[in-house]
Amino acid sequence: MPAAAEVETLKVSTKSNPNSVAGAMAGAIRSSGAVLVQVVGAGALNQATKASVIARGILATSGLDIIVTPSFADIEIDGEARTALRLRLEDREHRTVGPDDPGRPAPPPPSDAPW
């Protein structure tokens, strides 16, 4: 299974065609086991979500079940700082979670509570 750095990143916009994105998602998952989808804004998230549902159906016909792990990322677009949402889609059977995995949640901050 490739390291997180080798996982393909698809950028989805409001104008992206969900069927086309789903095909790209399915192809990437078949070849490497995972794909990272990056979106900015509600419209782009909507298209990516529809595409992930379509991709899940496509992959189910070949016996693959995918899971989605969301995370945030700070990015820059045209010199402006933005917050992107990233969706890591991967084959449930071959899921890999390492310390540098963008889908891995950050550990909770230390607590001063006595319990």
| Residue at 72 is within a domain | yes
The alpha helices in the chain, defined as continuous H runs, are: 18-32, 42-60
Q: Give the domain extent around 67.
A: 4-93
Distance (Å, whole) CA 96 – CA 29 = 13
Average pLDDT over residues 2-24: 87
Residue 12 or residue 107, greater confidence: 12
Per-residue confidence band for 93, with pLDDT thresholds at 50, 70 and 90: confident
Candidates 63, 66, 61; CA nearest to 28 is 66
pLDDT at res. 3: 46
Q: pTM for this one?
A: 0.76
pLDDT at res. 6: 82
In the chain, the number of structural domains is 1
Residue 38 or residue 110, greater confidence: 38
Residue 24 or residue 105, greater confidence: 24
| Residue at 64 is within a domain | yes
Residue 95 or residue 5, greater confidence: 95
pLDDT tens digit sequence for 59-78: 999 999 999 999 999 999 99
| Residue at 52 is within a domain | yes
| Residue at 41 is within a domain | yes
| Residue at 100 is within a domain | no
| CATH code of residue 40 | 3.30.110.20
| Residue at 30 is within a domain | yes
| Residue at 111 is within a domain | no
Candidates 67, 89, 107, 108; CA nearest to 10 is 89
